[in-house]
Chains A and B, each alone.
Chain A
């Protein structure tokens, strides 16, 4: 925060727009560059969670996955808080084309 931002805040004014512009650009460019539509992004997110959940128990409430970009390199940044490791990892099933049923399988083992 700059001195100007602080004064604006104190006076209840809108913050200067340059910073807003930068943040909006960074977000939109991360998506432009990855060339993934939101639906595919959602699907990827679901599948990543499935794979990781086979090995560790994730705090699903706290999961944070986003695209970030720096120096023209776009990265998928995922923060997946682990509750605990699974004693017996669930081996990858054959039916990976049926993700919803697989999710159901995970939740059933979690409750044990």
Chain B
């Protein structure tokens, strides 16, 4: 468990509501299931939600705030997941922390976590201001989450610019909420459009999946119970790829069967 090999991964998007926290929760569980000791750090101090998606909201006693103030030990603040003991959450403190928290503080917290975890996932806040910069200071590499929509891609691009400036690398892309039918009808940016524009390697492709909402209602990430839903599979595959396993990406156009899908593919033929 040498601290040197710990991976500090920022999960960010720029735009809000594209699935950062959902990815952090699911990836955390999936990595833990694969045997990696994983800590998830909620760096969204203003609007924390990671505790809720993990179903740990009632078990928080201390937060990152008390750890930094020295009024509790790190182990006391960490909330261990009952079903998946390889996973622990370090909850975000009071929103007032934003007034005094510095990038150095975040770096300190991450280093402390690195002493006992293989993976430290940092759930960044939306935006590109102070809160995001604090979160970025704790990371060595990043996963940018985006959806195939112009606003999300534009905001992702801004974030990638900042990550490049800070020397955070590698930066990998997770394309979330993909709708194969709309892509087939060319009413949604194609996967290759997004990867070309952002010039990032694709770490994962997650189909739009109603089960995500069901799982957040329950506070049980999809990757926890081995459901076979498309999003659960995609998140687990992201974890496997992070761990170095070669898992092929799904092809959205192959996700649809039948005559209509065939027709859709025919319609995408370039004629000139």
Contact = CB atoms under 8 A, between A and B. Distances in A.
Interface of A: 1-7, 16-19, 21-22, 24-26, 28-29, 32-33, 71-72
B189 A22 contact: yes
Given A3-B268, A18-B193, 20 more contacts: A1-B271, A2-B269, A3-B269, A3-B271, A4-B267, A4-B268, A7-B267, A16-B185, A16-B186, A18-B183, A18-B187, A18-B188, A21-B189, A22-B189, A25-B150, A29-B154, A32-B157, A72-B160, A72-B198, A72-B199
Contacts of A24: 150
A93 to B, nearest CB: 38
Contacts of B154: 25, 28-29, 32
Interface residues on B, range: 20 to 34
A26 B197 contact: yes
Nearest to B160: A72
B157 A21 contact: no
A18 B192 CA distance: 12
27 contacts: A1-B271, A2-B186, A2-B267, A2-B269, A3-B269, A4-B185, A4-B186, A4-B267, A4-B268, A16-B187, A17-B187, A18-B183, A18-B186, A18-B188, A18-B189, A21-B149, A21-B150, A22-B193, A22-B197, A25-B153, A26-B197, A28-B154, A29-B154, A32-B154, A33-B157, A71-B199, A72-B198
A1 B272 contact: yes
A2 B268 contact: yes
Contacts of B270: 1-3
